[in-house]
A and B are shown apart, each in its own frame.
Chain A
Amino acid sequence: MAAIYRTHMSIIGDILSTTRDETPDESGASVTYLIRKANVSYGRLAKILETLVQQGLLEQTTSDRACKYRISSRGREFLQAYRGFREFADSFGLRI
């Protein structure tokens, strides 16, 4: 099967979706968990997480001495908007 190229925006969408729908507990998702679920390297994930926290889309929490991330209300709104516009671009056969 041919590999599907994911845009930067779709990786962000995957990370936010994971932190919203698939976190193992309420404290959020660990970096290791996000690497596995979002299928992205540590170096790239670290940069994206830093940006998302700065933008207020993710909240950083500390649990069991590990850094965890959970989606903020702003992040939920962004994810909803992103999915709507992704649907729009999909209709044109394009990826955002």
Chain B
Amino acid sequence: MAFVPDTVLEISLNLLGFVVGLALGIFSYIGFKNTGSPTLFRLNIAFFSIGIGFGVVGFGYVIELFILKYAQPDSWIQTLGIGIQTVGYFFIAFSHGIKSFFPKSRYFKSIIFPLFIIPGNSIEHIIRSISFILLVYGTIETIMSYMENRNRNTIFVAAGLGLLALGEFLGWYSIIFPKSILYFISLSTKITGLGALFIPISQVPLRGGPKFGGNI
């Protein structure tokens, strides 16, 4: 069995996405444990989902190619990983939706789910389309927030979400042109986007901090 360098690169990029996503998720979790904030709880779910989504693809490929010795990894691994990432993108967009449309509702916002009608001929195609829409929405909302707060970090987050959207778009395009370099550009763009989301964390001291009750 001969592994092409492309596969190794693909696995490496996915595992890098797993680590970055998990780090962001852990930071958001520490924030949620300290403040009990529902926003940080949603970000925690979002980043854990994104990280796990990358991890499913990365570790799935490692298991199938290196342990089970398959000639080619199953396509369902990719679909499952992207599906889990989409859950993460949904929660980022959902947080913006709550802020913009339900700023005062404490109960309705928990049960509102947007409907998407996406044409498509494969599950992966549909999932990528949803991811793209969610990410574009998140990017626009973040840019709008920057207009209000003029916080420099917000620009990095908007750029990060925009790059993730571009990555999803290129990923979808690579379905049309399989085996092309587009897929690796897509993956690299997504990892760069995740890296941009990491910038705000560098402004905050990473420490466990005191633990407070959850009913504050």
- Interface residues, chain A, CB within 8 Å of chain B? 5, 7, 9, 12, 51-52, 54-55, 57, 74, 77-78, 81-82, 84-85, 87-96
- Chain B positions within 8 Å of A89 at CB level: 31, 37, 39-40, 43
B119 sits at the interface (CB 8 A): no
Of B27, B156, B209, most A-chain CB atoms within 10 Å: B209
B 191-216 to A, binary, CB cutoff 8 A, 1 in contact else 0: 00000000111011100011011011
A5 contacts across to B, CB distance below 8 A:
103-104
Partner of B157, one of A55, A92, A95, A96: A92
Tell me whether B92 is interfacial, beta carbon within 8 Å.
yes
Q: Tell me, rounded to whole Å, the shortest Cβ–Cβ distance linking B200 to chain A.
A: 4
Give bound CA distance, A88 to B200, whole Å: 6
- B contact residues around A92 at 8 Å (CB): 43, 92, 95, 142, 145, 154, 157, 200
User: Quick one: given A88-B204, A93-B154, are A55 and B213 in contact (CB under 8 Å)?
Assistant: yes
A94 and B204 contact, Cβ closer than 8 Å, known pairs A9-B36, A12-B216, A85-B34: no
Contact assessment for A93 and B37 in the assembled complex, using a CB-CB cutoff below 8 Å: no
Asked if B64 is an interface residue, CB under 8 A from chain A, the answer is no
B95/A84 in contact, CB under 8 A: no
Q: Is B174 an interface residue (CB 8 A)?
A: no
CB <8 Å contact, B210 and A85: no
B149 on the A face (CB < 8 A): yes
- In the bound complex, how far is the Cα of B95 from the Cα of A5, in angstroms? 15
Chain B residues with Cβ below 8 Å from A74 are 210, 212
Instruction: Determine if A91 and B209 form an interchain contact, defined as CB atoms under 8 angstroms apart.
Output: no
**Size range of the interface on B?**
35 or more
CB-CB under 8 A from A94, the residues of chain B are 39, 43, 95-96, 99, 145
Interface residues of B in 127-147 (CB under 8 A from A): 141-142, 144-146
CA distance A13 to B29 in the complex (A): 19
Cβ-defined partner of A96 (8 Å) among B39, B148, B154, B203: B39
- B157-A82 in contact (CB<8A): no
Contact across chains for B204 and A95 when beta carbons are under 8 A apart: no
How far does the Cβ of B82 sit from chain A's closest Cβ, in whole Å?
22
- Bound together, the chains give a CA A12 to CA B37 distance in angstroms of 12
Q: For the A-B complex with A87-B203, A94-B95 known, give 12 more contacts whose Cβ atoms are closer than 8 Å.
A: A7-B39, A57-B216, A82-B35, A85-B37, A88-B200, A90-B153, A91-B151, A91-B156, A91-B203, A93-B96, A93-B145, A94-B43
Pairwise interchain contact A95-B99, C-beta atoms closer than 8 A:
yes
